[in-house]
Amino acid sequence: MSNPPDDEIRRILQETKTIAMVGASPRPDRPSYGVLGFLLAKGFRSWPVNPAAAGETIHGLKVLASLDEIGEPVDMVDVFRRAPDVPPVADAAIAIHAKTLWLQLGIINDEAAAKARAAGLVVVQNACPVIEWSRLGLR
């Protein structure tokens, strides 16, 4: 596993405008709930995606069942799913022409990452955009 250097992570976070969060949870005690709230507070246009919670709302946003329901360009697909569940998410990110596939803390799937990179996506694994935002001193 190798992530992009800090200058690339900084560029991703500064240039990304739209984020789909796969595995978003409507439960306030789940990390994805807090991360989605942070991203919204920073001005990112976001879509929560979770087939088990489709139709519910998180931070006032309707939860979608799949990435292909978004219907407009997505810059980043932020994944809160177990590593074995990442390959179909990577395939869907490729299919919607996302620019970045971001796997949250503890999530590494080198096979899915290689496939996404081969399709032209930038891949970040085992990292949280909230932590990286703070670590890099972004405003």
pLDDT digits 0-9 by tens, 94-138 = 999 999 999 999 999 999 999 999 999 999 999 999 999 999 999
The average pLDDT across 17-34 equals: 97
Angle at which helix 86-95 crosses helix 110-118, to 10 degrees, equals: 10
**Contact in structure between 53 and 19 (CB atoms under 8 Å):** no
pLDDT over 90 at 20, yes or no: yes
- For the whole model, what pTM was predicted? 0.96
Mean pLDDT of 33-43: 96
- Of residues 52, 56, 54, 47, the one with CA closest to residue 21: 47
Half-sphere CA count of 118, side-chain side, radius 13 A: 8
Nearest of 92, 44, 43 to residue 70 by alpha carbon: 92
Q: What is the mean pLDDT of residues 76-90?
A: 98
Alpha helices in the chain (DSSP H): 6-15, 31-41, 86-95, 110-118, 129-135
Q: What number is the average pLDDT over the span 1-19?
A: 95
The H helix count followed by the E strand count for the chain is: 5, 7
Mean pLDDT of 67-80: 97
Contact yes or no for 25/80 (Cβ under 8 A): yes
User: Residue 139's pLDDT is what?
Assistant: 82
Query: To which residue do tokens 């694994």 refer?
Result: 125
How high is the mean pLDDT of the chain?
Answer: 97
Q: Which CATH architecture has domain 6-135?
A: 3-Layer(aba) Sandwich (3.40)
Model confidence over 91-106: pLDDT tens digits? 999 999 999 999 999 9
